[in-house]
Amino acid sequence: MRVRKAVITAAGRDQRSLPLQTLVDQAGKTTSVLGIILAEAVRAGVEEAGVVVYPDDEAAYREAAGEHAARLHFLPQREPPGYGRALHCARAFTAGEAFLHLVGDHVYVSTQERGCAEQLVAVARAQSCTVSGVQPTRENLLPYFGAVGGRRVPGSQGLYEVDRVLEKPTPTEAEQALQVPGLRAGHYLCFFGMHVFTPAVMDLLHEAVQRSEAEAGPVHLSQVLAEAARQERYLALQVEGRRYPLDVGYGLLTAQLALALDGRDREPVLATLCELLAQHHLDRDRAGGL
């Protein structure tokens, strides 16, 4: 299965500015979040990227893409009523091909030589099916992520057959429906913000959008993926890496620290952090003695 296209969703009202923010990458280069995401996709073999954007954001996104600007196709979405509808904007762009999907408000840092997207695409090619990246996540973070349940693929490391998908489940729902043998207690397989979808998933998404046209309500991708799990083989890969959502408190700061500690400037950054912590404690001790 060839994966030469990527779709990046970035039209949400609260998230559309995040891909335009600048960070310092592992090589010490100041670049945009969008540039970091595109580099991740290109490293996995992607040739073209469709970016779902709010109309009139195209120029800013093209500039933020830097050296990857020529790969971009813009897919405008004025009203973003749900994640599923945003992804559906890419139906004509994907044109019946499998594709890599990434969200525009995450930064990904691999813990091995291959990038996170590379790991995912390699499994999708080998297994010729839909594969979602997942990460064991504490139950107190369930309100932020979709989650899957299933069973480990025999003889594999970190690969699961998916049979259940729930969008932002409560801890009680997760305990009842999403237990996965081998995970630590209180941890569940939550989405990594990265998938490889077969054309069948886009077809199911199109059917869901058509059914909901009368209400013009949101279409939840998790519901579409739950149906995909019933109709075809659907795998989840525990990616060897970490995802850093930018739309949470201190998200950009956390992502920047993760990139710095994974890059060439690790030692001076660690030294600076230690100095800051030491100075903070010293200042507090002095204030307490006054």
Q: What is the pLDDT of residues 136-169, one digit of tens each?
A: 999 999 998 999 999 999 988 899 999 999 999 9
Report the predicted TM-score, pTM, of the whole model to 2 decimal places: 0.92
Q: Which residue has the higher pLDDT, 81 or 28?
A: 28
> Residue 266 corresponds to which tokens in the numbers above?
């690790």
The model's confidence at residue 20, banded by pLDDT at 50, 70 and 90, is very high
- pLDDT on residue 107: 96
Residue 14: CB atoms within 10 Å: 9
Domains and CATH numbers, the chain: 5-250 (3.90.550.10)
Give one word for 216, left, alpha or beta, with left for phi > 0 and alpha for psi -120 to 50. Answer: left
Q: Is the distance from CB of 131 to CB of 124 less than 8 angstroms?
A: yes
pLDDT in tens, 221-273: 999 999 999 999 999 999 999 999 998 899 999 999 999 999 999 999 999 99
Percent of the residues in the chain that have a pLDDT greater than 90, as a whole number: 79
Q: In the predicted model, is pLDDT for residue 127 greater than 80?
A: yes
In terms of Cα–Cα distance, which of 93, 52, 57, 92 is closest to 76? 52
| Close Cβ partners of 60 (under 8 Å, ≥ 6 residues apart) | 20
Q: In the predicted model, is pLDDT for residue 288 greater than 80?
A: no
